[in-house]
Amino acid sequence: MSIILYDLAGADPALRFSPYCWRTRFALAHKGLPVETVPWRFTEREAIAFSGQNRVPVIRDGERVVFDSWTIAGYLEETYPAPSIFGTGGQAHAQFINAWADSVLVNAIARFIIRDLLDVIHEKDRDYFRSSREQRFGATLEAVQEGRAGRIAAFREILLPLRLVLRRQAWFGGDAPSYADHILAGTLMWPRSVSRFELLDPSDPVASWFDRVLDLYGGLGRSAACA
């Protein structure tokens, strides 16, 4: 039986762009677990009310309901240990990557794509998205995204730790991809899906690594819809 994943979608139901849902997609693919995704929009609170909260990803695995990408990763690892998405000791180390991606990376990327995002989400989500995000940033979506070309060099500098790791190893998991790769790549699937703005310098080793991730799991990332 397939695992059901409630997955954030745009106006085009094929457009899936949540940095957190993508982490779960990669983790499920890594484990070779069949998944059925259900497109979900920001304002469809009632559709995931059974999970007791209002964010995606949410998975339903038979009788079990699990939400929050990190909790889902732990659940999948415990329930379906092989192949591991963490490797020995990897879960503890990936916790830092998860925290860094959720705080530093997600917030930094938002400033480059937040207005583009408004154009691809479902019409019924637009008022909610604009008001909730403008409250969060304390500025209009237009003002948050403004001047991005002039800020991109500073953004690319914060990726330096990733670059340093990739000088020594092909994957954040070491010799093979692990959930650390899924966290970072899932986060980068978000701008890739919703915006044409070139966030990564194509000559950056981070861009080459991301390109390799796109080909994993039968090209799951590469074949994903983009705006």
Residues forming the site for ligand GSH (CB under 6 A):
8, 18-20, 42, 54-57, 68-70, 132
Least distance between ligand GSH and beta carbon 26 (Å): 13
Distance between CA atoms of residues 4 and 2, nearest Å:
6
Q: For residue 188, which of 204, 169, 167 has the smallest C-alpha distance?
A: 204
State which residue, 107 or 169, has the beta carbon closest to ligand GSH.
107
Q: Which is nearer to ligand GSH, 41 or 166 (CB)?
A: 41
Nearest in space to 114 (alpha carbons), one of 149, 138, 146, 157: 146
Q: Is the peptide bond before 57 cis (omega within 30 degrees of 0)?
A: yes
d(CA 224, CA 219): 8
Euclidean distance between CA atoms 218 and 101, whole angstroms: 25
Shortest Å distance, C-beta 146 to ligand GSH: 22
Residue 56 beta carbon to ligand GSH: minimum distance, rounded to whole angstroms: 4
Task: Tell the smallest beta-carbon distance from residue 120 to ligand GSH (Å).
Answer: 13
Could you tell me if 163 and 204 are in contact, meaning their C-beta atoms sit under 8 angstroms apart?
yes
CA geometry: angle at 227 spanning 37 and 197, to 5°? Answer: 125
- Closer by beta carbon to ligand GSH, 102 or else 204: 102
Complex with ligand GSH: residue 108 or 170, whichever CB lies closer: 108
Rounded distance between C-alpha atoms, residue 82 and residue 33, angstroms = 11
Nearer to ligand GSH, 132 or 169 (CB): 132
- Min dist. Cβ of residue 216 to ligand GSH (A): 20
The residue (of 19 and 191) whose beta carbon lies closer to ligand GSH is 19
Least CB distance from residue 226 to ligand GSH, whole Å? 17
For residue 205, give every residue at least 6 positions away whose Cβ sits within 8 Å of its Cβ, in sequence order, or none.
163, 166, 167
Q: How far apart are CA 64 and CA 70, in angstroms?
A: 16
